[in-house]
Amino acid sequence: MKCNVQGVFKNIRYRILEINDEEYILDMGNSIWKIIFPFLHWVLPNPVYKINNEIVDKLAVPEREQPKTISAGTGALGGLVGVFLASLIRPLANMFHIPSTSLINYIITIMVIIIALAVFVYINTRSKRNLTTIVDYKHYPRKKLWIKPPSLKFFFNICFSYLFFMAFTVVPFMGFIETGNIIVFFGGIFCLFITYMINYFTILVGNTTVRFKD
């Protein structure tokens, strides 16, 4: 079925879906696994709640403020710029080594990954709290549906962006564990946050195709 996707005003966790002249609210933050692996939005069924037009009017982003599509190529370009800047400061790298063992660096890395994930869980929780002050959507009829990527190009763009930033997360973290270089570590943290943010770009404003589970 054809579906029109709209954003929710100042809330990145939710989308409004218009399907066959009926309105639904999509919860993109219902699973921690979908934050870590954004492809699961297309593989697993997503929970939606049927709402009325009055609620949609309260939640919808004004047309002039609809979020623009951020292409994966733009994100990749940002990553390449970061790599280029890192190469420029490479001569100073030895000044930023911390005197610690690989075990300590490993523990620090694991803690940072957990903290970063906790930050995104907090963002999701806060987004839910903000929405429920307007409408307690879980009291409305609940269904599940599969959402397809709007195009094959979009699918490959998301895949490329995810793998690109995941690689530039893992490699710097491994380098930090071995060398203790704090500059490399900060680069890995930056790419980790971008990797998590890709979750919110798997379902963008526009037209797509859905299929209800029932």
CB 16 within 8 A of CB 8: yes
Q: Which of 38-47, 79-88, 120-129, 139-148 has the lowest mean pLDDT?
A: 79-88
Structure tokens given for 153? 């190009």
Express the helix, strand and coil content of the chain in percent, nearest 5 each: 60, 20, 20
One-letter amino acid identity for 62? P
CB 165 within 8 A of CB 75: yes
Q: What pLDDT, in 10s, does the model give residues 182-207?
A: 878 888 888 888 888 888 888 888 88
Its pTM stands at: 0.72
Does residue 11 have a pLDDT over 70? Answer: yes
Bridge partner list, 108: none
Q: What pLDDT, in 10s, does the model give residues 64-117?
A: 544 444 444 444 445 554 555 445 445 544 555 667 788 888 888 888 888 888
Q: Tell me, what DSSP letter sits at residue 57?
A: H
